[in-house]
Amino acid sequence: MPLTDANSATFDAAIIGGGVIGCAIARRFTLQGARVVLLEKAQDVLDGASKGNSAILHTGFDAPPGSLEAACLRTGYAEYVDIHARLNLPMLRSGAMVLAWTEDEETALPALMDQARQNGVDYVELLSGAQIRALEPGIADTVRAGFRVPREYLIDPWSTPHAYLRQALENGAALRCSAEVSGGVFDGRFWRLQTTQGGVSAALVINAAGLFGDVVDDRLIARRDFHIRPRKGQFIVYDKTAAGLTGHILLPVPSKTTKGIVVCRTVYGNLLVGPTAEDQEDRETADLVPEALVSLRQRGAEILPALAGHEVTATYAGLRPATEFKDYQIRAHTTQNYIAVGGIRSTGLSAALGVAQHVHGLAVGLGLPYNALAQPVWPHMPALTDEGLRDWRCPGNGGIVCHCELVTRREIEAALCGPMPAYSLAGLKRRTRVTMGRCQGFYCSAELAAITEGRLVQPMSGAADAG
Amino acid sequence: MPADLPQTCDVAIVGGGPAGLAAACELRAAGIARVVVLEREACAGGIPRHSGHSPYGMREFRRILRGPAYAARLVAVAQAAGAGIFTGVAVTAVYPGGRLDLTTPDGPAELTASRVLLCTGVREKTRAALLIGGTKPGGVLSTAALQGMVYLNKQRPFLRPVILGTELVAFSALLTCRHAGIRPVAMIEAGPRAVARWPAALLPRMLGIPLWTGTTLRAIHGAVRVTGVTLQGPDGATRQIAADGVIVTGAFLPEASLLRASHLEVDGASGGPVIDSFGRCSDPVYFAAGNLLRAVETAGRCWAEGRRAGQAIALDLAGRLPAPSGALCLTLHHPALKYAVPQRIVPGGAHGSVDLRVTRAVKGRLSLRIAGAEVWSQRLSALPERRLSVPLAAFASYPGATDTAELVLEEDTQ
């Protein structure tokens, strides 16, 4: 039985943090029958670590065997494959290749393949340089060897968490944005949280605060089991004409600290190169650095020589919430009805559904039983990739506003309304891809500024005339 | 979809800017019955639509007009000539045989034309393409986006921006700022001098706005809106200055995405299609004109190019255009030679000249060699983005026994 009735402001679970992990947990708990509130300190969800990643659905072949990360990747992967079509989410079955460019890297391949098999990824196959180039003729002829991981796929980094959250919301969950948790107490039965949007009561608190996970732990349970060490990743994105240069996700041989620089296409039909791995103190700002962008462009052209002639369409930088530990830091504090979900560093998008299952299991272990919804609602996400039926192909779309990404007026209107409307251009971009193409708003910014006038908390036309 | 959008026509013109509209007029004047202009924006007219300042129209209408008035006049003239102008219609793919995939507010459509003229214009390079560092706040705009906001929407996106670049368009941005009561902090130029010609380059001084040459924009700062920028001066030292916006101007690129996704040959140097001296592409059903050919020319030059392309297409439809076979293939022999358009020369070509650009300031001797023999030469003292041309008459001695012509630059020794 749920602990609370539907009309009360008291929730079964308060989830702190609207990143991919928080959204997936909100979905899982809602589907299990819990009354959930998701608290996000920013104006919009996906504003922290989930803002910038490489959009790969990892099998977990290179995760440390026996780790929690490997387990969550396995279950998260399986659930995504199972549910993506019902949510109308894309999944591009590209496959990956791990490429060795030096003798040392080549020597490391057998151990990596063994590790993959230990992680249940037993369909890897060793390839010679010639075999690699037969599969992907665009790869430089300096490649020595590698192996193929056929079930590494590409997914949508933003529609995916949006879909998780939307399914939670459409099945009764609540979302509070601009709600930073400043403190709280547990009275033995309920948590009373103070937020910048008022008080919230909940039987269980789940800390999925990502880059601020240790800060929130400190505020609520007065301890820090881990320390966040933000790791910056810069990316460059090439225009759609470059996407034909490789069908596979091209991975390097990973080092101890990072998976290294990936070259892959995206579900939207671009090609990306990144990320860098740079430790920093700042948890909020991920600065792009010209020299790093130049070196990414060079690295991209070393792997795919034809890239040298292609145009860089976009650049971005994200922060992963690394800690002093290699594995995820997920802990139930039994006496306090509190679960900390931290240190989900670079595999969060792939593992999110698995993390959510794991956290739900921990909650059950705390003696918090829920009755799963018998007939949950399954939202149908807008198709943003060519895998689905794009709106511009459908009648009554109001015309195309963003010509590079073929975004229609109807899609923009839809993203400005509904249970999780866009508050900013950044939010509108994540929901529709508007202005994210090759012209970066050269053609459509003015029209978009007219459409969104008075409807964004952060107006495109600026605050210059607001006073 | 627009009820009267046909499924077939004689000539389909992709893009309703100065080049496309000029071509439509010429084609109608030559008696071509079904001329269709496909414009993806809500209004035809192209970039001048939102460029709310003078001078436009001297070449075309013998008077000085502001951009919007000029654009409206181009549209009115093409409509009066009997061209069918369809707005809100985007071409999403082009195929051999003149078959086009279209999309309209009411869904997809197809159109097949006997000839197709591509006039999709240019766009400015983005901060991403320029690999500028820092954060990605609001208030970083191209000149086109700024002008659309200021002139079409009556919005004022910032008050104290930095203008990056000093091509002619940067001074257009400066005039737009002045119109809107926006006072730029400075203009930034990486090179040693302003790219645009005198007298435009005097404008900042007249308006009291500093022009910093030898200076690059390293990073943009701010979370939600721009709060400042980091500049690197000629001495390598960096400094941060306050600003609430950045206008990333110029460094134009042809808007060639349709072309690049098609069967048509692209010139990596110009970024536009490979054309012959009649404006004909590698598939002779397709022609191209205007700034799609290369970046970047004035509206008046694009208009003149569109007229010539219209005349060539009319001749072609009448079976009177020389065949594309046997064209001279023009190659460039110096790294400072950026591009030359057209890339193929058919004897008797309609283009008056081969247009070329240099990548940096050069002084020397430019010569044209056909079959190894020099047929034309000229002293050259050129700066980037300045128009240079080789008259097509220089190709008149074409012996017919070769298929290559070379443009050779011999730089003066210092």
Q: Do B107 and A393 touch (CB under 8 A)?
A: yes
CB-nearest to A425 from B126, B138, B253 is B138
Structure tokens given for B27: 């084609």
- B168-193 exposure pattern, b = at least 16 Cβ within 10 A, e = fewer: bbbbbbbbbbeebebebbbbbbbbee
Strands (E), A22-124: 36-39, 56-57, 96-100
Alpha-carbon span A422 to A345, nearest angstrom: 26
Q: In angstroms, what separates the C-alpha of B284 from chain A's closest C-alpha?
A: 23
Separation between Cα atoms, residue A174 and residue A419, nearest integer Å: 9
* B35, B49, B65, B84 from B25: Cα distances, Å: 9, 19, 20, 11
- The partner residue sitting opposite B138, judged by closest CB among A240, A314, A462, is A462
Beta strands in A208-361 (DSSP E): 229-238, 249-252, 262-265, 271-274, 278-279, 312-322, 329-333, 338-342
Element containing residue A106 per DSSP (H, E): helix A103-118
Touching A: B residues 39-78, CB under 8 Å:
40-42, 50
CA–CA distance, B413 with A366 (Å, rounded to integer) = 83
Decide if A445 and B149 are in contact by the 8 Å CB cutoff.
yes
Q: Does B2 touch chain A (CB under 8 A)?
A: no
How long is chain A? 467
Chain A, 186 to 215: residues with Cβ < 8 Å from chain B are: none
Residue B244 has pLDDT above 90, yes or no: yes
pLDDT at B348 over 80: no
**Residues for chain B: how many in total?**
414
Distance CA B112, CA B114 (A): 7
Structure tokens that stand for B181 in this block: 């009561």
CA distance A259 to B110: 46
Q: Which of B240, B239, B238 is nearest to B221 (CA)?
A: B240
Determine whether the interchain pair B142/A396 forms a contact, defined as Cβ–Cβ distance below 8 Å.
no
How far apart are the CA of A407 and the nearest CA of chain B, in angstroms? 11
Find tokens 């193409």 and name the residue. Answer: A437
* Amino acid at position A60, single letter: G
pLDDT at A227 (0 to 100): 97
Residue range A222-279, pLDDT digits in tens:
999 999 999 999 999 999 989 999 999 999 998 877 789 999 999 999 999 999 999 9
Which residues of chain A are within 8 Å of residue B40 when distances are taken between CB atoms? 400, 403
B105 and A396: CB-CB below 8 Å? yes
* d(C-alpha A356, C-alpha A344), whole Å: 12
A contacts of B225 (beta carbons < 8 Å): 458, 462-463
Q: What is the 3-state secondary structure (H, E, C) of A171-188?
A: CCCEEECCCCEEEEEECC
Minimum CA–CA partner of A284 in chain B: B223
Asked if A2 contacts A13 with a C-beta cutoff of 8 angstroms, the reply is no
Quick one: tokens of B327?
A: 């064209």
Three-class DSSP category at A381: coil
pLDDT digits 0-9 by tens, A264-306: 999 999 999 999 999 999 999 999 999 999 999 999 999 999 9
B153 touches chain A (CB under 8 A): yes
Evaluate if residue B398 carries a pLDDT over 70: no
pLDDT digits (tens, 9 = 90+) for B208-227: 999 999 999 999 999 999 99
As a whole number of angstroms, the distance between CA A31 and CA A25 comes to 10
Instruction: Give the range among A164-173, A248-257, B18-27 with minimum mean pLDDT.
Output: A248-257
Check residue A4 and give its pLDDT: 44
Mutate to test the interface with A, among B86, B153, B264 (most CBs of A within 10 A): B153
What are the pLDDT digits (tens) for A73-127? 999 999 999 999 999 999 999 999 999 999 999 999 999 999 999 999 988 989 9
Average pLDDT of the segment spanning A37-51: 95
Instruction: For residue range B266-292, list pLDDT tens digits in order.
Output: 999 999 999 999 999 999 999 999 999
HEC sequence for B174-203: HHHHHHHCCCCCEEECCCCCCCCCCCHHHH
Put simply, whether B190 touches A (Cβ < 8 Å) is: no
Q: How far is B52 from chain A (nearest CA, A)?
A: 14
Give mean pLDDT, residues A376-403. 95
Q: Is residue B254's pLDDT more than 70?
A: yes
Question: How close does chain A come to B308, measured CA to CA in Å?
Answer: 27
Q: 3-state DSSP call for residue B382? A: strand
Which helix H or strand E contains B247, and what residues bound it?
Answer: strand B245-248
Nearest to B128 among A289, A409, A440 (CB): A440
CB A399 within 8 Å of CB B106: no
Which has the closest alpha carbon to A158: A448, A422, A456?
A422
Contact A127, A20 (CB under 8 A): no
Instruction: Read off the pLDDT band of B371 (50, 70, 90).
Output: confident
Q: What angle do CA B24, B25, B27 make, to 5 degrees?
A: 65
Q: Are A58 and A439 in contact (CB under 8 A)?
A: no
Q: According to the model, what pLDDT value does residue B1 have?
A: 46
Alpha-carbon span B35 to B4, nearest angstrom: 13
Average pLDDT, whole number, for chain A?
A: 94
Scored b (16 or more CB within 10 A) or e, A16-41 reads bbbbbbbbbbbbbbbbbbbbbbbbbb
Q: Closest partner residue to B219 among A241, A287, A425, by Cβ?
A: A287
- Per-residue model confidence (pLDDT) at position B343: 96
Residues in contact with A131: Cβ distance below 8 Å, sequence separation at least 6, in sequence order: none
Mean pLDDT of A350-363: 98
Note whether B242 contacts A: Cβ–Cβ < 8 A: no
Nearest-neighbour CA in chain B from A8: distance (Å): 36
- Among the partner-chain residues A312, A393, A397, the one whose CB lies closest to the CB of B105 is A397
pLDDT of residue B351: 56
- Chain B residue with CA closest to A461: the answer is B157
Q: What is the mean pLDDT of residues A413-429?
A: 93
Nearest to A319 by CA among A342, A293, A345: A345
Residues of A in contact with B141 (CB under 8 A): 441, 445
What are B289's two structure tokens?
A: 């004109």
pLDDT for A467: 34
Q: Confirm if A345 and A226 have CB atoms less than 8 A apart.
A: no
Q: Minimal Cα–Cα distance from B210 to chain A, Å? A: 22
Partners of B101 in beta bridges: B93, B110
Whole-model pTM? 0.94
What number of C-beta contacts closer than 8 Å exist between A and B?
Answer: 153
Nearest to B132 among A290, A397, A450 (CB): A290
Residue A1 has pLDDT above 60, yes or no: no
A181-203 mean pLDDT: 96
Answer yes or no: is pLDDT of A463 > 80: no
Q: How far apart are alpha carbons B243 and B385 in whole angstroms?
A: 28
Q: What gap in Å lies between CA B220 and CA A380, rounded to an integer? A: 38
- Segment A63-72 shows an average pLDDT of 96
Element (H, E) at B28: helix B18-29
- pLDDT value, residue A6: 41
pLDDT for the residue numbered B107: 86
Dihedral pair phi/psi, residue A333, rounded to 5° = -100, 95
What residues of chain A lie within 8 A of the CB of B142, using their CB?
440-442, 445
> Cβ of B123 under 8 Å from any chain A Cβ?
yes
Q: How far is CA A441 from CA A434, B248, B314, in A?
A: 8, 12, 36
Which of B133, B152, B159 comes nearest A464 by C-beta? B159
> Tokens in use for A324?
């002093």
* Average pLDDT, integer, range B378-401: 84
The residue type found at A464 is A
